[in-house]
Chain A
Amino acid sequence: MNIDREHIRNFSIIAHIDHGKSTISDRILELTGTVAARDMKEQLLDSMDIERERGITIKSQAVRVDYTADDGETYCFNLIDTPGHVDFTYEVSRSLAACEGAVLVVDSTQGVEAQTVANAMLAMNANLEVIPLINKIDLPASDPERTREDIEEALALPADDAVLASGKTGEGIHELLESIVYAIPAPEGNADGPLKALIFDSYFDPYRGVVALIRIVDGSIHKGERIRMLATGTVALVEDVGTRRPSEVPSSELGVGEVGYLVTGLKDVSQVKVGDTITSADAANVEPLPGYREVKPMVFTGLFPIDGDQYEPLKEALEKLSLNDPALIWEPEKSHALGFGFRVGFLGLLHMEVIKERLEREFNLDLLATAPSVEYHIFKRNGTMVSVHSPQEMPDPAEIDHIEEPYLKAKILVPPDYVGAVMDLTIARRGSFVGMNYLSPTTVEMQWDIPLSELIMDYFDRLKSSTKGYASLDYEFNEYRYADLVKLDILLSGKPVDALSFIVHKDKAYERGNQLAIKLKEIIPRQLFEVPIQAAIGNRVLARTTVKAKRKDVLAKCYGGDISRKRKLLEKQREGKKRMKAIGNVEVPQEAFMALLKVDG
């Protein structure tokens, strides 16, 4: 049975990290009786362990709740939870495109923060009706009035009708639900037109094939119907449709304005892409929905099993994860230093961290990651061009005519006090200042042109720390551009270690090489022999440091009871060594391969 369009409200909840987004979602589910209180787990919507631990949302979710409003009518709410990180900006934009409104959660003890602004802008750009919600009013430090002024000033968003609430006590949640009913418009769309549905997330289910989360824009979708994905051209059978409450409730169809899941039975998640448009298989000349984009990995890193026996398990794990993650691409890579592994491409650094963590945790692998790199375009003298994802793949310098690297358009939102700090940091990272404007007296938007390779070098963490956490960053790919780049090699005991090589701008080579040599000296523990560390371009050594030979290790008493203690200590030493990689006869800790990120400048 179709739900009457006028009684549907599609919205998402957006917030700065830790402002209480997930708690508010949980209270909504609780108050509408969707989930019994006893089944509540903290942050119900974030289903992955990593999401729950880090308090971040990686995959989108959609839950339907029924709400009987004060006017006596029953409304159907679709609450769409969106990823909350710049790596997933595209996914967020598609999730927001499935909504008519957004609840903007602001912590009344903190006020508006950078991410609040960024998220509110995203929602307003998507033409969503934004309902401000002033949260945590139960706390003694709460200042709702000040927060209200803050919202009006920084976001130019009327906040007279802002909902005052506490996710913890449940106060104000009823008001929020009412305000969703009257402030957020019902979805528009032509119920009788040809089917048009937006895919805003998809994942692989081993029992049912690819499952998509969809929003019906026009027409309706029926179980048993044949459909087509416009961008990929894939045709599939609708094996099942329905809604999540949050457990799945199948239905025979989804009508206009509705949000739900769709089971396709397809085996490859890359056939069902986020942002793509679903139509009937036999429909002709249907215009795709706007905003679809091919998702391409931007950041590449080498992942190597510490224990060579884990190569096959790593391969199987990557295969499993990519079933669910079309943005994850990988190919085998061989390193002299680290053995067999994979070059893996990611959307961004968070995506990379999350995947690495999942591989280690869910598949029990011990992995070593090399410093991330971007895709370089190498134009050879013979007129051909090769794409290179790793410093090891760099052709001989004699063959290279010139190199191009990816540049980004980056947008940074920051309070005016920190403009200078952002300038200093970003210019040091080869960024060129494009312009800036005041969004409000408390928020400046700065636009930059910056190479991606600089951004992945720990730029975000540094941006956060130099702005006391206020800055928020958004970026998109701009273009490939000429750059004077060189490959810098690191030599341990005179032998180049391929996994430590990196590509760097010529003007920065000396500085980076020197800093890295110093950093590695700190990281590599003293061994039985002296270990010289050199940074070199070809045969030209730019910097040299030395890890002195170890003179002595722990020498303690070893009488009766001390022997057991000694055994424990040796066991610990052994575990510690397991986390190291022997390169030649030098024991190198894993963090050495990421040291490049910790280098200043």
Chain B
Amino acid sequence: MHDPYKALYLHIPFCVRRCFYCDFDSSAIPQDNPAIDEYIDGLCVQIRRNANEGELAQIETIYIGGGTPSFIGSSRLTKLLYMISVSVRLENVREFTMEANPESINECIIKDIWALGVNRLSIGVQSFDDEVLKILGRAHSSSEAKRAIECAQQRFENVSIDLMCGIPGQSIASLEDSLVKAASCGVKHVSMYPLTIEPHTLLNNMVLAGEFPEPDEDEQALHMERAESILVQAGFSRYEVANYALPGYESAHNVAYWTGVPYLGLGRSATTMTQNSERRGRIRDGIVLDDLNKSQMVAEDIMLGMRLAKGVSVEDIANASVFLPALQATLDELCADGLIVFEEGRYRPTHKGWLCGNELYGRIYDLAP
């Protein structure tokens, strides 16, 4: 028996083109390719089957990600969303997010998905600088992004945008300009990631061939700090290492990932996390990625908790210490190294802890490898 799933993730692995940095599972194929229809039909069958087995009864958040869900067009999305609406009790769903990219956002899609229950839109903007968008290989311009945000806001009150920093060729002035625009365009949530060169991406090949510089970590740290100061000034709070929200607009679905909430992933290369009080597993495409025992589970929860601004409470630490006897000593060391602080009954990450996250997570991970 496993604990009920509270979060549902659906993966749409199609895009108009592949961005140079992206290593997500997605294919760039023509919009009218029947493979997309087959995929959506298959996804609908899976949703139906899980609903019949009762797996969707307690879903509280839904996230349709990609790829580019908006790329597949209004009629396929209508089919998919309709299937969701008859399979999940939408009245219990607190947050229903869909990802979209500026080039495929139009009034028709916005109206349709809004009407079918989506209540949060996450737009991949990345930058408001056309030069930077070119470096990243994005399929849209900054003016298209602005238009898309305005278009989304006709229906959606809760719009989030993704931004990137620390890109070779992106000046601090360019970043600041994007941040100011993000803060002033009425979005409620901003995700902010430094560029990572992932294997099997075009940028990685370019780096290996010496055609693109490796991102500079000091520069990236500086960008992250600038992002925080501008967004916080504008009223956003940094509730997770890379996520900023106006009060009350933290992403419930993403917080579920970081707080040990079981999630069901449907579609190609979507990950499911299933657990009970003893064990936790992660499965993708029928392959078990993780099989954690109790102490590994507990360590993972503390680790993920340290991504969040609120950190971990002393009560949680006390409970976890039953399974991780060395936890307190490790936390004391992390405090001494300035990676975390103890305040108001909680251990929270410091700025240094956020920037040197692997150092921080690594030491907690080592408690139950």
Chain A residues proximal to chain B, CB less than 8 Å:
528, 548, 550-561, 563-564, 566-567, 569-571, 573-574, 577
Contacts of A566 in B (CB 8 A): 361
CB distance from B68 to the nearest CB of A (A): 16
Residue B359 contacts which of A548, A553, A567 (CB distance < 8 angstroms)? A553
B224, A552: Cβ atoms under 8 Å?
yes
B357, A559: Cβ atoms under 8 Å?
no
CB distance from A482 to the nearest CB of B (A): 50
The contact sample of 19 A-B pairs, CB cut-off 8 A, is A528-B337, A548-B218, A550-B217, A553-B356, A554-B196, A555-B196, A555-B241, A558-B257, A560-B9, A560-B257, A560-B265, A560-B270, A561-B284, A563-B300, A564-B271, A567-B365, A570-B361, A571-B365, A574-B362
CB distance from A584 to the nearest CB of B (A): 14
A560, B273: Cβ atoms under 8 Å?
yes
Chain B: CB-nearest residue to A526: B217
Q: Is B235 an interface residue (CB 8 A)?
A: no
In angstroms, Cα B196 to Cα A335, docked, is: 40
Given contacts A551-B221, A552-B220, A555-B357, contact A561 B269 (CB under 8 A): yes
Q: A528-B356, A577-B362 are in contact. List 4 more A-B contacts (CB 8 A).
A: A554-B196, A554-B357, A557-B242, A570-B358
Query: Looking at A550, A551, A566, A571, which has the most chain B CB atoms within 10 Å of its CB?
Result: A551
In angstroms, Cα B339 to Cα A548, docked, is: 17
Q: Is B80 an interface residue (CB 8 A)?
A: no
Residue B257 contacts which of A554, A563, A571, A577 (CB distance < 8 angstroms)? A563
B282, A564: Cβ atoms under 8 Å?
yes
Contacts of A551 in B (CB 8 A): 217-218, 220-221, 355-356
B357, A561: Cβ atoms under 8 Å?
no
Q: Is B49 an interface residue (CB 8 A)?
A: no
Contacts of A570 in B (CB 8 A): 358, 361-362, 365
In angstroms, Cα B269 to Cα A557, docked, is: 16
A563, B218: Cβ atoms under 8 Å?
no
Q: Is B304 an interface residue (CB 8 A)?
A: yes
Number of interface residues of B (CB under 8 A): 42
Contacts of B224 in A (CB 8 A): 552, 555
Pick the 4 closest A-B CB pairs, nearest first. A561-B271, A551-B221, A564-B289, A552-B221
In angstroms, Cα B344 to Cα A542, docked, is: 49
Chain B: CB-nearest residue to A561: B271
A563, B282: Cβ atoms under 8 Å?
yes
Chain A: CB-nearest residue to B307: A558
Contacts of A557 in B (CB 8 A): 193, 242
User: Interface SS of chain A: helix, strand, loop or mixed?
Assistant: loop
Contacts of B177 in A (CB 8 A): none
Q: Is B263 an interface residue (CB 8 A)?
A: yes
In angstroms, Cα B338 to Cα A557, docked, is: 23
In angstroms, Cα B297 to Cα A567, docked, is: 12
In angstroms, Cα B254 to Cα A561, docked, is: 12
Chain B: CB-nearest residue to A550: B356
In angstroms, Cα B80 to Cα A469, docked, is: 67
A574, B356: Cβ atoms under 8 Å?
no
Q: Is B258 an interface residue (CB 8 A)?
A: yes
Chain A: CB-nearest residue to B289: A564
Chain B residues proximal to chain A, CB less than 8 Å:
9, 193-194, 196, 217-218, 220-221, 224, 241-242, 254, 257-258, 263, 265, 269-271, 273, 282, 284, 289-290, 300, 304, 307, 337-339, 352, 354-359, 361-362, 365-366, 369
Contacts of B217 in A (CB 8 A): 550-553
Chain A: CB-nearest residue to B366: A574
Contacts of B354 in A (CB 8 A): 555
Contacts of A552 in B (CB 8 A): 194, 217-218, 220-221, 224, 355-356
Chain B: CB-nearest residue to A567: B290
CB distance from B256 to the nearest CB of A (A): 9
Residue B339 contacts which of A528, A555, A561, A574 (CB distance < 8 angstroms)? A528
Contacts of B361 in A (CB 8 A): 566, 570
CB distance from A424 to the nearest CB of B (A): 31
In angstroms, Cα B263 to Cα A553, docked, is: 28
Contacts of A550 in B (CB 8 A): 217, 356, 359
Residue B369 contacts which of A559, A561, A574 (CB distance < 8 angstroms)? A574
In angstroms, Cα B362 to Cα A343, docked, is: 35
Contacts of B304 in A (CB 8 A): 558, 563
B359, A561: Cβ atoms under 8 Å?
no
In angstroms, Cα B369 to Cα A528, docked, is: 22
In angstroms, Cα B269 to Cα A451, docked, is: 63
In angstroms, Cα B339 to Cα A570, docked, is: 17
A528, B257: Cβ atoms under 8 Å?
no
Contacts of B355 in A (CB 8 A): 551-553, 555
In angstroms, Cα B289 to Cα A556, docked, is: 18
B254, A559: Cβ atoms under 8 Å?
yes
Contacts of A561 in B (CB 8 A): 265, 269-271, 282, 284, 289
Chain B: CB-nearest residue to A528: B337
B338, A556: Cβ atoms under 8 Å?
no
In angstroms, Cα B305 to Cα A558, docked, is: 12
In angstroms, Cα B359 to Cα A554, docked, is: 10
In angstroms, Cα B117 to Cα A520, docked, is: 59
B271, A574: Cβ atoms under 8 Å?
no
Contacts of A560 in B (CB 8 A): 9, 257, 263, 265, 270-271, 273
Contacts of B300 in A (CB 8 A): 563, 567
CB distance from B148 to the nearest CB of A (A): 22
Contacts of A569 in B (CB 8 A): 358
CB distance from B337 to the nearest CB of A (A): 6
In angstroms, Cα B9 to Cα A33, docked, is: 69
CB distance from B144 to the nearest CB of A (A): 24
CB distance from B319 to the nearest CB of A (A): 21
Chain B: CB-nearest residue to A553: B358
CB distance from A571 to the nearest CB of B (A): 7
In angstroms, Cα B357 to Cα A558, docked, is: 12
In angstroms, Cα B144 to Cα A52, docked, is: 63
Contacts of A559 in B (CB 8 A): 254, 257
CB distance from A204 to the nearest CB of B (A): 40
CB distance from A163 to the nearest CB of B (A): 47
Contacts of A564 in B (CB 8 A): 271, 282, 284, 289-290
